[in-house]
Amino acid sequence: MNNTFYGRNFLTLLDFTKEEISELLLLAAKLKAKKKANAECRPLTGKNVVLLFEKDSTRTRCAFQVGANDLGMNVTYLGPTGSQMGKKETIKDTARVLGRMYDGIEYRGYKQETVEILGKYSGVPVWNGLTDKYHPTQILADFLTIIEKFGHLEGINFTYMGDARNNMGNSLMIGAAKMGMNFTACAPKDLWPKEDLIQTCQEIAKASGATLRFTDDVKEGAENADVIYTDVWVSMGEPQEVWQERIQKLLPYQVNKQVMESAGETAIFMHCLPAFHNRDTKVGEEIFQQFGIEAMEVTEDVFESEQSVVFDEAENRLHTIKAVMYATMREPK
Ligand code: CP
Ligand code: NVA
């Protein structure tokens, strides 16, 4: 691997070229193979990273924790309470303090601006573990999974159904545009990504050969898709009051058997998780009691079907996040 990543932040895929994204995916595949073969080394032994979480997480937190341990590093977790950050101390000051103690910083929270300030002032690599706008480490895991299933990214017909202007919709569109995929956002018009981001991605697509399509027609969106992807209808940080409107708008875009049949039997189903596919969660049951629906963005039969690769994706969070830490922290020889 060359050293173009050393010392860099990982805040949005917009900052990385197609070749660089490919390189990170290749590195992730290598680290995955090493782990499976019990042939891991600990190239970052003695380094320290801090994980800042202003929102909940299972996959991202655990992937950073296990990934850092696998690479030989020590980890500090700071949750939504218990530190001074943002309350008695500015993000800029927090960045400068943490940069004196740690070799890398992960941030999950609300504003993209916050992770950018951390990146600008800490002096160490900062990784975006999800903001309201972007979720770039998730895209690496998704793309590694697609490569494992189809052997390539270029030319893959990728359909995202649901809230296409959330962090996942935005980041998947950027990633698909970079990697030369055929991206379809299938959603009500007012839930398409923002026009300025679409324009940026159209420019990127010109260079990569990607196509971007936007439709509110479910059948048209699903037909011939290699990948049907969805995410929650209400993201972390959004107010409870939006549930009713969102359910009304997005129920027609629920990924169910009919959608998967339109896509065809070789299509795979993907979801970044967590997913509302039954009533076996607190929120799932509350939604059932209030709105009478058993599942939201994906039905139980699709989630549990052979076409569903959601747990491969979840595992790949570890290998791809490890690749990002390794690439940005490993000193050039
Ligand atoms: N997909 C994802 O980011 O999951 P967590 O919220 O559990 O980290
Ligand atoms: N859009 C979701 C993604 C969770 C991984 C959220 O922000 O809650």
pLDDT digits (tens, 9 = 90+) for 56-108: 999 999 999 999 999 999 999 999 999 999 999 999 999 999 999 999 999 99
Kindly report the CA angle at 55 between 89 and 240, in degrees rounded to 5? 115
Residue 79, number of CB atoms within 10 A of its CB:
14
pLDDT for 41 equals 84
Whether 228 shows a pLDDT value over 80: the answer reads: yes
Which of 160, 232, 250, when mutated, tests ligand 2's pocket best, judged by the most ligand atoms within 8 Å of its CB? 232
pLDDT for 233 equals 98
Q: What is the mean pLDDT of residues 6-25?
A: 98
Whether 165 shows a pLDDT value over 60: the answer reads: yes
Alpha-carbon gap, residue 131 to 135, rounded angstroms: 6
Ligand 1 pocket member 65 (CB < 6 A): no
Whether 1 shows a pLDDT value over 70: the answer reads: no
Ligand 1, atom nearest to 135 Cα = 3
Beta sheet of 268-271, edge-to-edge order = 211-215, 182-186, 157-161, 227-230, 268-271
pTM above 0.95, yes or no: yes
Smallest CA separation from ligand 1 atom 7, residue? 58
Question: How far does the centroid of ligand 2 lie from the alpha carbon of residue 233, in Å?
Answer: 9
Dihedral pair phi/psi, residue 277, rounded to 5°: -115, 0
Ligand 1 pocket member 222 (CB < 6 A): no
Q: What is the mean pLDDT of residues 289-294?
A: 97
Residue 188, number of CB atoms within 10 A of its CB:
16
Whether 2 shows a pLDDT value over 80: the answer reads: no
pLDDT for 40 equals 82
Catalytic residue flag (residue 108)? yes
Share of the chain above pLDDT 90, in %: 98
What residues contact residue 136 under an 8 Å CB cut-off, 6+ apart?
Answer: 10, 11, 12, 13, 128, 171, 175
Ligand 1 pocket member 320 (CB < 6 A): no
Give Cα separations from 257 to 80, 92, 121, 297 (angstroms): 39, 49, 49, 12
Q: What is the mean pLDDT of residues 127-139?
A: 99
Catalytic residue flag (residue 138)? yes
Whether 3 shows a pLDDT value over 90: the answer reads: no
Ligand 2, atom nearest to 163 Cα = 1
Average pLDDT in the chain: 97
Ligand 1 pocket member 273 (CB < 6 A): yes
Share of the chain above pLDDT 70, in %: 99
Ligand 1 pocket member 58 (CB < 6 A): yes
Kindly report the CA angle at 294 between 289 and 296, in degrees rounded to 5? 105
Dihedral pair phi/psi, residue 307, rounded to 5°: -75, -15
Ligand 1 pocket member 130 (CB < 6 A): yes
Catalytic residue flag (residue 62)? no
